Each structure stands twice: as C-alpha cells, then as structure tokens.
Amino acid sequence: MATALHPLSVYEPDTVPSAAPYRFAVVVSEWNTAITNALAQGCVDTLTKHGAETIKVFHVPGSFELSSAAGQLAARKAFDAIICLGCVIQGETRHFDFICEAVANGLTQVGIQYRLPVIFGVLTTQNQAQAEARSGGALGNKGVEAAVTAIKMAAFFEKA
C-alpha cells in the first residue's frame, strides 16, 4: 500500500529471490490504457531486473475480464505466477464497487482453485490523479510492487 512515507516502488532488492527459474504471465486491462501501460512497463522491467526470462503479456478489454483471463491462463499450467494489472477509477455510480469486488474475489478464487500465485495489481482510485500517482508518479508504480510480489510468491509456492 502506498503512503507518503512508503511509495509502491520502494523495496529492498536483496530480499527478492531470482526470478530466472519462473515463468510469468502479465494480464493487462486495456481500460485506462495510459495508466495500465505504465503499470505493465514497471512490472515487466522489474521482472527482467530480477532475472525473469519467460514473461508473456496478455491484454483484456477491462479489469472485469482479468479474472476469467487469469483462470484460462492458470488452467494451462504454463506459468508460475499470473500478475493482473488494471485501473478502476471511482465514478458517480456503484459500478466501481461491483467491479472492484468482482475482480478481487475472482482473482482470489483463481489462485485458490489452481494453487497458483495470482497477483492483484489493480489500482482502485478515487480519481485520475491518484491513478497517475500510483502508476509511475509521486507514489511509485503498483506494477513494480506486483512484480516483486509475484517473484516472492513463486518462490514461496516452490518451497511450500
């Protein structure tokens, strides 16, 4: 979680295992493309920085579709972690609440069903400025955080 004292992109690189042995799927929502592309770039750069050699990027229309895409990819058994990146910005209706809850629950269920790390890298912000701050702005990049989480969880699942 980003705060003024702890941006999303700040972590101790020495605490992150090598990503070289793991295969990563990155699923990116096309809704709010400027934000989600920045998240994807931060994610892929971080995976690469830590030695990942197998990174496949997939695009889906919106954040709601992240869960079904993650389920499809998990069923392939071709990845050690699936990172889902999206951005849902609060509007005037309850649509925001329904989408955020559905995506969070859906990704959780995919991870449990397939016993696979499925990483929630979805920004759920009140406005565009908050999204920009968390996708490479003043509060770092949630894509970096999602990549680090995926590497650590892939290593955990390997050892558990």
Q: Write down the catalytic residue from 6, 50, 59, 95.
A: 95
Whether 95 is catalytic: yes
Q: Which three-class secondary structure state does DSSP give residue 27?
A: strand
CB-count exposure of residue 41 (10 Å: 0-12, 13-18, 19+): middle
For 46-82, letters b (16+ CB in 10 Å) and e give bbeebebeebeeeebebbbbbbebbbebbeeeebbbb
Catalytic residues: 95
